Structure 1
Amino acid sequence: MRKKGLFCFLLMLAMVANGQPRKYLGGDISLLPSYEQAGTVYRDFDGKPIEPLAFFKKMGWNAIRVRLFVNPEYAPQEHKEEGVCQDLKYALNLSKRVKDAGFDLLLDIHYSDYWADPSKQTIPHLWENVKPESLSDSVYAYTSRVLSSFKAKGVVPDMIQVGNEITFGMLWPVGRIHPMKDDNWSVLCKLLSKGCKACREVCPEAKIVIHTERAGEWDMTRSFYMHLQKYCLDYDIIGLSYYPMWHNSVKNLGTTLNNLESTFPGKEVMIVETAAYYSHENDKWATGPDQYAEFYPISLAGQASFVRELMNELSNHKNVTGVFWWFPEENACGNDLLPCWLNRGLFDNHTGKALPALKEFRYHSTKS
């Protein structure tokens, strides 16, 4: 153990000396406290009960992503049933636990009371009557208040997402854009710049992530970040969602990553969300058992195959400095926390046992 620890320490020194940024491996575990409160038991590959954060650490994870909504009590019931509950107190308590366990923290700020994604970027209830020209001030004040609350508790994020999946903008309709058009970018970039300004002021050591969800469409991805460059937005990391069922093949992702490296050579790239199905059981959104099986079978082996191929590809790109599994903590064993299942987590919904894909979710040491 001493030799291994010394080797890791020397490797870290060598990476710093060579100017190589740290690589992150982790997941967004934002619903974990709710599962634990429901009495959910997590198990390792052999069925032995485990403490999730300790187990993730054992599996080589070094970072955790936590989402934050403005006021989730105003979320529609359907979204509350999907796990929307992460208010400031919830996110702060989970983040403190994450940092105390030795993980780096990626704080994902949704500027909404519920999901901010490609289909909706809803202005928070308490901001509905704010004048459009003053909305950026609300973003600044809210971001500053959140980060100051974190710092007051000794919890400083290492990375901060200003917005979630914002290829088409945020705080609709005020900050809505189309990535391939030039309309309304000054408004969106003012909103983003105020959020980034708060991050720089309150947490100057944290890296800022701008997150989009069109990793399979290079033209859109390029146009979005070129517009940010035109408006001189101050951020550090290009964050991407990549799901094979919506964003094309891993090979296609590799092309996007190559293009990002040549087009934006000063930016790190992180896959801040990824996942793949292993089943469609109790899945109200699925149209059949083989939906989304274009690239991988909907099975445990198919999910593991996806992870293996993804991690091999990411290890080939020096600009990629992180990857986060979305909702790895899904575990319906012994609880009815959610009325239906997504079946994209890393634990079996029947037994609570860790799935084979989790063994594949690691960087290949010869390349990273």
Structure 2
Amino acid sequence: MSPRSLLWHPVLSVAFVCTVVNADDPSPFIIGADISWVQQQEAEGIRWSDEGVEKDIFTILKDHGFNWIRLRIFVDPKAEGGYSKEGFCDLEHTLQMARRVEAAGMGFLLDFHYSDTWADPGHQRKPKAWADLHGAELEKAVHDHTKEVMTALKEQGTSPDMVQIGNEISNGFLWPDGKVWKTKKWDVFCGLLEAGIAGTKEVDPSVKTMVHLAWGGQNAQSRAFLDKALALGFQFDILGQSYYPKWHGTLEDLKANLADIARRYKQPIIVVEYSVPNVREINDIVRGLPNGKGLGAFIWEPTKWKGPALFGAKGNTKPEIDVYADMAKEYGKKER
């Protein structure tokens, strides 16, 4: 990795030690759900029910075998062009949701978007407040934002177990500075990633850090990204992949790609976004990866009834949710 004049350089020597998850660790298989929309839905009047009985969403998910929750966080969703004028998915709302995750006794994955709104392979806009920041100043903003969020969560006793440094960063993030698609800005990109990891590890070195790509079935692209980042000295704990058949190929493509990655690299793997159908097939693929490298999978927004989901328009469970209890039983579900 090329030397950088980071404003937070004194912590550099301890921040980037890679604490790789042991593939032989007897931790439970992650049966996860991203439910970041829940607060907004509840504010709109949605109440959750299972077989006609009203219950808390976390109770329903646990009853059906889920053991982890994923939440996204934006820098300032109230900003011009931001995600939500009500501030959903900001720090305060995330603190509220984190308390519910902790009370439920579930694992917690926090997804830093490093934007005021959605970040994905085609959109990685810098937060409005960071628009004029570049180089070391932008790295410091990433570091400080990450550390602020992690500190607030730790102080209320709800530290995440795992964090994503960016969301679907296949083409980079914090564009244009950290864009790697059709550019040669890999040093800048890796410096920004390292800033996020430093902000995480300074608060809690035990928290696992994830790089999240959107190439579930694309082996050549996955390998090219990982080879480049690792050659530059970048280290992280877990590899996340999105898998949606429309963009990422067949189940066979997913299986072949993840199996190859599991053999080539030391990082364990999570399918951190997927949707129905093929729930069982996707989870079985991850669980069956070589050397125990498959840690689990997260269904994306199963409560959002307008798309493929596990809940109906009034917050009621649908039959599609039943497969999760079956998986938990067969996989040998344990608590976090």
Aligned counterpart in structure 1 of residue 317 of structure 2, from 351, 354, 357: 354
1:142 aligns with 2:145: yes
Number of aligned residue pairs: give it.
Answer: 308
Q: Corresponding residue for 1:72?
A: 77
Which runs of no fewer than 5 residues in structure 2 stay unpaired? 1-21
In 2: Cα distance, 1:309 partner to 1:17 partner: 21
Aligned counterpart in structure 1 of residue 53 of structure 2, from 43, 48, 56: 48
1:23 aligns with 2:29: yes
In 2: Cα distance, 1:123 partner to 1:247 partner: 26
In 2: Cα distance, 1:321 partner to 1:260 partner: 13
Q: Corresponding residue for 1:286?
A: none
Contact 2:81 2:116 in 1 (8 A): no
Tell me by how many angstroms 1:140 deviates: 0.8
Moved more, 185-194 or 311-320: 311-320
Contact 1:84 1:115 in 2 (8 A): no
Contact 2:135 2:188 in 1 (8 A): no
- How do 1:49-198 and structure 2 match up within 5 A? 49-76=54-81, 79-80=83-84, 85-178=88-181, 183-198=184-199
- TM normalised by structure 1 equals 0.78
Q: Corresponding residue for 1:311?
A: 283
Tell me by how many angstroms 1:17 deviates: 12
- How do 1:208-287 and structure 2 match up within 5 A? 208-264=209-265, 266-276=266-276
Q: Corresponding residue for 1:344?
A: 308
Please list the CA deviations of residues 176-219 of structure 1 after superposition, one character each: whole Å capped at 9, or x if unmatched: 002xx781111100000111111111111111011010112111
The structure with higher relative contact order (CA 8 Å, sep 6+) is 2
Please list the CA deviations of residues 3-58 of structure 1 after superposition, one character each: whole Å capped at 9, or x if unmatched: xxxxxxxxxxxxx99534432111111111221222212222x3332221011111
The one-letter amino acid of 2:32's match is G
Tell me by how many angstroms 1:84 deviates: 7.3
Tell me by how many angstroms 1:367 deviates: 5.9
Provide runs of 4+ in structure 1 moved above 4 Å. 364-368
The one-letter amino acid of 2:154's match is K
Tell me by how many angstroms 1:364 deviates: 6.5
Q: Secondary structure at the match of 1:19?
A: coil
- TM normalised by structure 2 equals 0.86
In 2: Cα distance, 1:129 partner to 1:309 partner: 45
In 1: Cα distance, 2:87 partner to 2:302 partner: 16
Tell me by how many angstroms 1:103 deviates: 0.7
The one-letter amino acid of 2:161's match is D
Which is greater in Rg?
A: 1
Which runs of no fewer than 5 residues in structure 1 stay unpaired? 1-15, 277-302, 332-340
The one-letter amino acid of 1:174's match is D
In 1: Cα distance, 2:111 partner to 2:241 partner: 13
The one-letter amino acid of 1:326's match is W
In 2: Cα distance, 1:182 partner to 1:23 partner: 38
Contact 2:77 2:88 in 1 (8 A): yes
